[in-house]
Every structure is written in C-alpha cells, then in structure tokens.
Amino acid sequence: MIEDFNKQINKYFPTTGDNSELLFLLNKTSQLLCNWYSGSEDIGPLPREKIFEPSLPEENGCELNKLFDDINSLIYSSFNPAHPGSLAHLDPPPLSISIVGDLIAGALNNNLLAEELSPSISLLEERICKWFATKVGFTQNSGGIAASGGTLNNLNALVTARFNSGFASDQNASFIISEDAHVSFKKCATILGLKHENISVIETDNYGRMKVLSLIEEFKKIQNSSNKVFAVVATFGTTIRGAIDPINEISSFCRSKNIWLHIDGSIGGIFTLGKNKIIDNKALKNANSLTINPQKILGITKTSSLLLVNDIENLRDTFQTGLPYVDTSDGVLNRGELGVQGSRPAEIIKLWLGLRVLGSKGINEILDQSILKKSLFAEKLDKSKFDIISGPLHIVSFIPKNLSKEQSDSWTLQTKKLLLKNNFMISRPFYHGRYFLRVVLGNLNTEKTHIIKLIDFLNQQVL
Ligand SMILES: *Cc1c(COP(=O)(O)O)cnc(C)c1O
C-alpha cells in the first residue's frame, strides 16, 4: 500500500533520483514568462480584458495542460511592471537575476528561522546586512535583518525602540512622525497596542519635509504631559513626493534627548549606495535604525527589505526567545530571534545576486537614470499649467493650476483613465486635501521618447 501511494504522489516533488518532471515544469514556465514579456508592449501596463477566472482545487488534482492554461490566463491578466508605460508606483521591472534568486530560494526551501535550517543563507544574510550597515556608516556592532516588506521592518524598528526605551508595556508610550510619513506607522501603532493619538504628527514645510522647530515644540509638549516619547521617525523619501526630512537636525535633536531615531528609508535608503549623494551618509550614521527596500527601485523581486540597526544587540534583546526545538552551534545567533517573523524565506539570495550582477556601477546607473528622468519630466511639464511637487528623489506629483477641488479631482480621474488607454499607467494619490497625479520614474524600460510622449499628452490636457 505504502509503495503504491509513494509512486503516485512523489512525482510532484523533487527526488534524489530522476527529476525530469521538475525540469519540464521549469522549462515550460520559463518559456511562458519570456513570451509574455516579449509580446507585452501592445497589451499595456494593465490588461484590457479580464480573462482570468480563478478555478478552485478539485477532488482529483488538475491535469497539467489545464493548469498551464490557467497559469497562462493568470499571467496575461496581470499588471506588467516591465511595460515602459508602467510609471504609477514604486514597483519597477524585476531584475532578471532576482527572478532566478526567487527560484533558487524556492527550490532550496531553507528557513531563515534557524542556522541549522539555512547554514549558508543565514551567513549570507548576516554578511549582506553588515555590508549595507557599513555602507551607511553604522558602527562595528551594527547589523540587520531582512523582513517581508518595509511595513514589517518599520514595525521591527518601533518594537525595538519601545523595548529599548523601557516603555514596552506603557500605554502612554508615543512616537513622532511627519504628516507625510507612510501609512504603515498607523498599523505599527495598532500592533503595538497604542491609540492613533499616541502618534504625534508633525507638520511638513513647503517641500514636504518635517518642520524641526515644530518637532522640538511637540516634544516639549509631550514631556509636559503623561505621554513618553520612545522614537522619532524621519522619512528618507516620502511616498507622494520623494521629500527627505532634515535628518541631520533631527538626528542631533534625538541624540540630545537620548531618543531612538528610526529612519524610514524604504524609498531613499538605497541611494546611499549611489555616487551622487542625495544625502551625506554622515547624516544617517547616528540613527538607531534604518529601513531600506531594494524592491522599490533596484527591482529586486518582492519582497526585499532590510532593517539595519546601529547595534545588533538591540534586536537580539528585543526578540530573543530561545528556540528550544533547534540545535544551535556555539556563538551562533538564530536569525528568527532578530525580528517579528518566525519562519522566513531566503529573500536575501535575490538581493545578493542582484547587487553582485549590477555592481556599484550598475546600481549607480539605475539611481542616476531615475533622477535624470525625473528632472526631464519636471522640466518639460508646463509650469504655466501645472503645480508640481517633488523632492530630490525620482517621484513627481502634480495638478493643474487654478482649478477648484471638484474640477481638479475630476480632471485627475479622467486624465488617469485616458492615459491608461494610451498605455501609460500613473497613480492618483490623495494628498493634503485633493487628488494629485503622480509618476515614479524608476522603470528602466521607459525611454526619453516615452517621457516626451507622456508630457505632450499631459500638456495638451490643460488648455
Ligand atoms: C512603501 C513604503 C513603506 C512600506 O513598505 P512595504 O514594503 O510596502 O511594506 C514604508 N515607508 C515608505 C516611505 C514607503 O514608501
């Protein structure tokens, strides 16, 4: 009986013997994906017709032919980040070698929870985090952890900051962000068991940067209340306009008050690897923690996010549980004890491969290109017709001048739809009371001619 059972089912798994079935699946899938990319220029960033109908698991398993039909319709009904008109979000085309990295991670199916379940990859993650932390200017004791996205790493940072402050179970604990900080901090508060009123929100200036004087005043106000500040969050690249908070000044203030500084560099952090310094790494080196999301601009496939900390002991102190069911070599830290996630995939492989294929030169070129494209866009958009908001990064938001809120909101809606019909996908964020249109210029497949075409279209939409 057991033997019969094995024979039927084990062809679905890699074996120590013949793996022609796996090879067949990999080849067929590779072909399908490459065909999709090659023929997708006319389909547009988003599919025009929705052909995908999710079938649910059936009693007897599904024939491979039918399964591949479904895979095909799933693929052809997907958003295409590699289309040159995909300019809406921080979701660039995937770097080819990082697709391979995901495949390797899946095939190895190691677990970053524990060293014995991922001996080589745990070491790799430790080294890459340390390498990044050193680039940023963090100390000898620095390190980091990969987590599935910036939201989770912001959470890892705030849990650590709160634990470190001694207010871990204090309901009056509060943290400070700017009004343009990412929505993930609301989730962080909820998960930390804090009311949204425990987030102090500081105004931004005309360039979208936290006002430091308001920060100082707010801090005093909190000190005179029953609340206790455990962290200040500075944003290195805001989501709507790519602004950068005055990190140097915020950092000096935090040091003078002995308050944890977390930098949300989900967008801007990667620019620390570039030659054209968007900000001086010296500004970062006194922060306690920094989130970096290589998924957002280098095109490492999702998810790829690191939390770097100036002192790795802070993560260990906060998250250490002991792993009673795991054997651990002397002096080895199981990386499941450095953050909120337990079992973790080997996301570090695709980041490692991506960084190595690109090298400093390639990384620099991607960053420079995105800034050059942003400059071109901001320069050519007709300033007599549009109000433009943009910081030093590759994001531009804009609205037509002199329209009422109603007129402007309807213009942005109509224009976004029209653009999609013309194979341009841009986004429509709600910011400071009205809808803007936004372009993110991190798509390597977008050429100058595409940008000029988009600009001409936009300039013609306003009389
Ligand atoms: C995208 C983003 C995040 C959240 O990252 P996820 O990977 O989507 O969880 C946090 N902060 C900023 C500034 C972001 O743009």
β-bridge mates for residue 440, sequence order: 395
What angle in degrees, to the nearest 10, is found between the helix axes of 348-380 and 96-108? 150
Q: Is the CB of 160 under 6 A from ligand 1?
A: no
CA of 265 to the centre of ligand 1 (A): 9
Burial class (CB in 10 A: 0-12, 13-18, 19+), 148: middle
pLDDT of residue 162: 98
**Residues 446 and 374 sit within 8 Å (Cβ to Cβ):** no
The owner of tokens 């909120």 is 340
3 state SS of 441: coil
* Spacing of C-alpha 402 from chain mean position: 35
CA of 460 to the centre of ligand 1 (A): 33
CA of 182 to the centre of ligand 1 (A): 7
Nearest alpha carbon, ligand 1 atom 4: 150
3 state SS of 200: strand
Q: Is the CB of 153 under 6 A from ligand 1?
A: no
CA of 262 to the centre of ligand 1 (A): 14
How many CB atoms sit inside 10 A of residue 67's CB? 13
What values do phi and psi take at 265, rounded to 5? -100, 35
3-state helix, strand, coil in the chain (%, to 5): 45, 15, 40
Pocket test for ligand 1, best of 148, 180, 182 (most atoms within 8 A of CB): 182
The owner of tokens 């650590």 is 160
pLDDT of residue 1: 55
Q: In the chain, how many H helices and how many E strands? A: 14, 12
Pocket test for ligand 1, best of 184, 236, 267, 301 (most atoms within 8 A of CB): 184
Q: Is the CB of 267 under 6 A from ligand 1?
A: yes
- Provide the residue-wise pLDDT of the chain in tens; the chain has 463 residues: 556 666 678 889 999 999 999 999 999 999 999 999 999 998 999 998 888 999 999 999 999 999 999 999 999 999 999 999 999 999 999 999 999 999 999 999 999 999 999 999 999 999 999 999 999 999 999 999 999 999 999 999 999 999 999 999 999 999 999 999 999 999 999 999 999 999 999 999 999 999 999 999 999 999 999 999 999 999 999 999 999 999 999 999 999 999 999 999 999 999 999 998 888 888 899 999 999 999 999 999 999 999 999 999 999 999 999 898 888 878 788 999 999 999 999 999 999 999 999 999 999 999 999 999 999 999 999 999 999 999 999 999 999 999 999 999 999 999 999 999 999 999 999 999 999 999 999 999 999 999 999 999 999 999 8
Pocket test for ligand 1, best of 152, 204, 264 (most atoms within 8 A of CB): 264
Burial class (CB in 10 A: 0-12, 13-18, 19+), 66: exposed
pLDDT of residue 333: 86
Q: Is the CB of 266 under 6 A from ligand 1?
A: yes
Pairwise CA distance, residues 97 & 99, whole Å: 5
Q: Is the CB of 227 under 6 A from ligand 1?
A: no
Residues 6+ apart with CB under 8 A from 213: none
Pairwise CA distance, residues 386 & 423, whole Å: 22
What values do phi and psi take at 457, rounded to 5? -60, -50
303 Cα nearest atom in ligand 1: 7
Q: Is the CB of 293 under 6 A from ligand 1?
A: yes
Q: Is the CB of 235 under 6 A from ligand 1?
A: yes
Q: Is the CB of 150 under 6 A from ligand 1?
A: yes
